[in-house]
Amino acid sequence: METKTKTAFLYDERYFWHDTGSSVLFFPPGEFLQPDGTAESPESKRRVKNLLEMSSYIKHLEIMHPRAATKEEVGAFHTTAYIERIKTMSDNGGGDAGGYTPFGRGSYEIAMLSAGGAITAVDAVMRGEVTNAYVLTRPPGHHAEADSGAGYCIFNNVAVASHYARKQYGITRIMILDWDVHHGNGTEDAFYSDPNTLFISLHQENNFPNDRGYAEHIGEGAGKGYTVNVPLPVGTSNAGYLYAFDRVVLPIAEQFKPELILISAGQDPNCYDPLARMMVTADCFGEMMKRIKQLAERHCDGRVVACHEGGYSTAYVPFCTLRVIEALRGIESGIEDPFWAITLKNMPRINQLLPHQEEQIEQVAKVQSAYWKLT
């Protein structure tokens, strides 16, 4: 049944031309490491667009094209020296932004366009042109610090968009939810002392970066309690993620009452991801977004902007992302998850909350109960 929701889908062909060179997963080629494409290749992103087109689901979406962010907009979070360093390296053939974030010639302009995609979506949502939006941002952003890149991220798209939304539209309360399997360290640092930004990260514990994303990392100063880290054990499946949503994420968000919700949508907690060890299926990504959409409808007129982050299974990420977009739009595609019937449904714990997973989520609730009502 048709809904009144209007969902924007933003992408640019140049996103897929961002060159990350060759590597072995995330290591540079070496004596015994035969060169391969990087894990952060364009294919898992390009195939999202391809699936939308081949299924004709794209007809349900408002297609928008991003503008490039300005230096001033990106500079609301990143230092001028860092921005200029990236531009210089890009103009001279490429380099590494830091924390193994390789890029080639022209990636500065593409990274500015990626940050601009998040800004374009914020404009469309805040002006009421659409209800919500999905941006196929590349390069991703949530690991990027103010003066350094990391984990394939050059500019922090969500952090830049958050600063823009606050300046341009006078928003007081912004919620950033990061369900990428890796901790969103750059975004956390951007708002660690900010009581007007609620940052929640669900991630695989002790994956990347090192020593980040512990439950005890709750913010500082006036921002104490406004950073919520939910580190999840290896092997956490649909049941664990949804329990974390219902036990921690949603109760805190309901009390915060966001005026805008930004999502770092990394579909790398999926069962087939080469850089993670989690067991989330496509349908669970859809369920998480359905919960967020309902939250947004209660508090901020449905305003949600999701920006693509990680997700390195070129086969499965498109189906996971399709479910996210379906939930935003409120219309099902009718496309079945082809991997469910063959293998996933036979995994005995795919929809089972294990005791140690529940215990770890309860520990997060205990830490956060000093700042929020979690009964």
Average pLDDT, whole number, for the chain? 96
Lowest mean pLDDT among 16-30, 61-75, 131-145, 312-326: 16-30
pLDDT value for 289: 98
Task: Using the predicted structure, report yes or no on whether residue 90 has a pLDDT greater than 60.
Answer: yes
pLDDT at 2 exceeding the cut of 70: no
Mean pLDDT of 357-365: 98
21: pLDDT strictly greater than 90: no
Whether 132 contacts 7, CB under 8 Å? yes
Whether the pLDDT of residue 35 is over 90: the answer is no
Catalytic residues: 143
Query: Across residues 99-124, what is the average pLDDT?
Result: 97
Average confidence (pLDDT) over 338-366: 93
Q: What is the pLDDT of residue 27?
A: 76
- How far is the CA of 365 from the CAs of 224, 231, 359, 362, 373, in angstroms? 15, 12, 10, 5, 9
pLDDT digits (tens, 9 = 90+) for 191-227: 999 999 999 999 999 999 999 999 999 999 999 999 9
**What integer is the mean pLDDT of 54-71?**
98
Q: How far is CA 112 from CA 118, 172, 245, in A?
A: 10, 25, 32
Let me know if domain 7-19+37-368 sits in CATH 3.60.20.10: no
To the question of pTM greater than 0.95 for the whole model, the response is yes
pLDDT for res 24? 76
For the chain, percent of residues with pLDDT exceeding 70: 99
